[in-house]
Structures are given as C-alpha cells and as structure tokens.
Amino acid sequence: MVKAPSETSLNGRPRATDRGLALVRVVAAHPLGIALADAARAVDLTPSTALRQLRSLESAGFAERLPDGLFVPGSELLRIARSLAASAALPRLAEPMLAALAEHTGESAYLAEPIDGRHAVYAAMEPGTHAVRHVSWLGQRVPRRGTAVGAALAGRVEADGTVVRRDAVETGVTAVSAPVFDAGGQVAAALSVVGPSYRLVDDALLRARTLLAAQARALSALAGAPVPPASRSPRGRTARSRRS
C-alpha cells in the first residue's frame, strides 16, 4: 500500500520511523535522563506524540522511564552500545593474547573480525618467533567458507572450543581458530594461530589448541562476555583437523 504524503518523509521512510530514530538519538545523548517535554522539543513533537513514541521505545528496550519521569537509555540500547564498544576495542584488547600465543607456540597469531557473511579481515597480529613463519595476512580479507576463521565466527568448533583447517587458504598452511564473544554473548571475532602444516602437528598442534582456547576465553572476558565460552562448544565432537 502506498502511504499518503503526510505519512512519509522526504527520504522515503515513514515519519513515525524518523521520529522514533530521532528520539533514540536524544535518549542516547542523555544517559542521566531527559524530561518528556525536553525530548519532545528536541525532535519537534508534541509531548503527547513523543510520549507514545517513547512508550514504544520502552517496550523494545531502547528507553526506560525512571520513577521521577525522566527517560534514560534502556537495557537493549545499552547492550548494543557495549557490544559495539567492545568490538571496536578488540584489536587493542587482543594485543597481550596475541603476544602470548606467538611466544608460547612460536607461530603467528591473528585476530579476525567479520566484514560480512562471506569475508573476515585480519585486524591485528603478532608474528611468530620461528625463522620460517606466517606473516602475510594482516589487513587482508579471508573467506569465511571452508576456513578455520569462518567456522569459529559461525560458532562451529570442536569440544575444546577450537577448530583446525589445513590448506584452506594457502597450501601447506594450517590455521587453528577459536571464537571470541562480546558483551551480548555473540561471536564478535576469532583468534587464530597460523603456521606451516609440517610444524603444527601432534603435540605442537594440541598445545596450540589448548593455548588458543584459553586466550580466546580471556579475550572474551575482557570484551564482557556474560558466559564462559568454554561452555558454548556446541558439537562435542572428537577434536580433529579437516582438509578443506
């Protein structure tokens, strides 16, 4: 159904949507609270119309009305803000985890963040200590399909909380990845250890997986993850590598 001109803004969105978004911005800008009259004035609405919009935002968790009548950001709005803040800070927060992984495994360690449903990007890395090491992926995009990073970002990990892929992006290279969870309990990134396949085998691979799982849990905790990720390993399968 085509909306009447009075119901549609110049940008094509319903006016009610514009009003709601404007009120979200106003409430978010006043974490200590804003009065109904002030919120209505800020978005050029009558108090009665603003109240209806704010009640809708309140029911969705984007606003909350305090006993004194002031409106403050709601729990859902705060959750989104925490999640975005943690995601933006992840490369910085991951620095000690990446350094520990590189030091104790000798292999290069990476933090990958999703770009979209098909790709991720390596946003931070610490080079390994071996003379022959993997150092070429910082800042590069990597496909999610068929890779360790993609499986970790999708939460498809083994019982130990990690996943292994050999030759998925480069022949002769093995990647071990683990998901990193944000404040909302969602997978926000993946930690990885990447090295030559001839070296990441047997005890060395087991050690890398154990260290990686521990560092991913530590980074998740710094990002505010509410539940220890170790309890989220969904499949409980026998840990094994798989050629893709």
Domains of the chain: residue spans and CATH: 5-73 (1.10.10.10), 85-243 (3.30.450.40)
Rounded to two decimals, the pTM is 0.60
Say whether pLDDT at 11 is over 50.
Answer: no
Q: DSSP letter for 229, please.
A: G
Per-residue pLDDT at 138: 75
Give the SS3 label for residue 220: helix
Question: Which pLDDT tens digit goes with each residue over 110-134?
Answer: 999 998 889 999 899 999 988 776 7
Runs of H (alpha helix) within the chain: 15-28, 36-42, 47-59, 75-93, 95-105, 148-153, 202-222
Q: DSSP letter for 239, please.
A: P
Question: How far apart are the C-alpha atoms of 185 and 82, rounded to whole Å?
Answer: 11
Per-residue pLDDT at 2: 31
CB 11, CB 19: distance < 8 Å: no
11 against 32, higher pLDDT: 32
Give the SS3 label for residue 28: helix
CB 181, CB 155: distance < 8 Å: no
Instruction: With cut-offs at 50, 70 and 90, classify the pLDDT of residue 19.
Output: confident
Instruction: With cut-offs at 50, 70 and 90, classify the pLDDT of residue 139.
Output: confident
The percentage of residues in the chain with a pLDDT greater than 70, rounded to a whole number, is 82
